Structure 1
């Protein structure tokens, strides 16, 4: 059974947009993630600390935004982000 994706928008203390995602990112909910990313302009911190699963459909949504996003990722996601090449295109911080 999959864990639904929850997206929460906010701001960091320095004013940078923050999008916190929890649950699983897969082909069933990438439209919601894409809409959230598209609705935020400028630099964005995407907190993936609460993501338990990220598939290739989810990765494909992140790549077009790689130049303007920074990711916060749990250790489980680090290999996926590295192997996909996304780690070479954006900054990834440890959770």
Structure 2
């Protein structure tokens, strides 16, 4: 067992939602690491947004401040996109092309499945289903 002083600090994930003033779109801003421990929290936030906003407006997932994304996070993104599709909605995902998030998305081919944008403004301008 590792002594407490040598244990790594707990992984942090911050999820904050806010409305865009112009059209009422709900933006979910995610900060930190999305991994096996934190992915369920992200999944719950996305599903809650999609279910609550159904018929009222879109949800945008902003991952530009995410520093790590593993397979559990990729699974959440895929499942959330499918959930949105079943609700006849979209889930625009905002990623910074220079951050560590885009690499696993591209390597797994999810860039062909997810609705990816580089800025929230770009996602706001995207056509809706």
Pairwise TM-score range, normalised by the shorter structure: 0.7 to 0.9
Large movers: runs of 4+ above 3 Å: none
Q: Give the structure with the higher percent strand.
A: 1
2:64 matched residue in structure 1: 49
1:91 to partner: Cα distance: 1.9
1:71 matched residue in structure 2: 93
Structure 2 unmatched runs, 5+: 1-7, 120-129
Describe the SS at the equivalent of 1:28.
coil
Provide the C-alpha distance between the structure 1 equivalents of 2:12 and 2:103, rounded to a whole number of angstroms.
22
1:90 to partner: Cα distance: 2.2
Provide the C-alpha distance between the structure 2 equivalents of 1:64 and 1:89, rounded to a whole number of angstroms.
11
1:57 to partner: Cα distance: 0.5
Provide the C-alpha distance between the structure 2 equivalents of 1:15 and 1:85, rounded to a whole number of angstroms.
31
| CA shift digits 1:33-87 (9 cap, x unpaired) | 1110111124321111110000000110110222421111122222221222221
Whether the 8 Å CA contact 2:78–2:114 is kept in 1: the answer is no
Structure 1 unmatched runs, 5+: none
Provide the C-alpha distance between the structure 2 equivalents of 1:50 and 1:8, rounded to a whole number of angstroms.
12
Q: More relative contact order in 1 or in 2 (CA 8 Å, sep 6+)? A: 1
Whether the 8 Å CA contact 2:43–2:80 is kept in 1: the answer is no
Describe the SS at the equivalent of 2:49.
coil
Describe the SS at the equivalent of 1:47.
strand
Q: TM-score, normalised by structure 2?
A: 0.66
1:19 matched residue in structure 2: 28
Bigger radius of gyration: 2
